[in-house]
Amino acid sequence: MHQNKVIHCDLKGANVLVDHNGIVKLSDFGCAKLFESSFSMSDFNGAIRGSLPWMAPEVVTNKGIRRKADIWSLGCLMIELAVGGNPWGS
């Protein structure tokens, strides 16, 4: 995804699909952006996009969106899979 200059911006368990052969695919690219160097929140018209429990701190604090934000979300996804629920509890 990042090799194709796409930032997903909403990685979470609900957006990961696995078929009967174990092939993993991502879904819901509604928040995705084409990568330039980084994005400020003004690029998103001031709206936070994505799901807060999986969102990187720099996204929540309006410091911009970079590919690293997807890596943070992937880590949260791993926690979600390990605990079987919201990565940071309720």
- Token pair 């997807």: residue: 70
Number of H helices, E strands in the chain: 2, 4
Question: Cβ of 47: how many Cβ atoms within 10 Å?
Answer: 7
Question: Which entry of 10, 19, 43, 70 is annotated as an active-site residue?
Answer: 10
CB 51 within 8 A of CB 10: yes
70 in active site: no
So which residues are the catalytic ones? 10
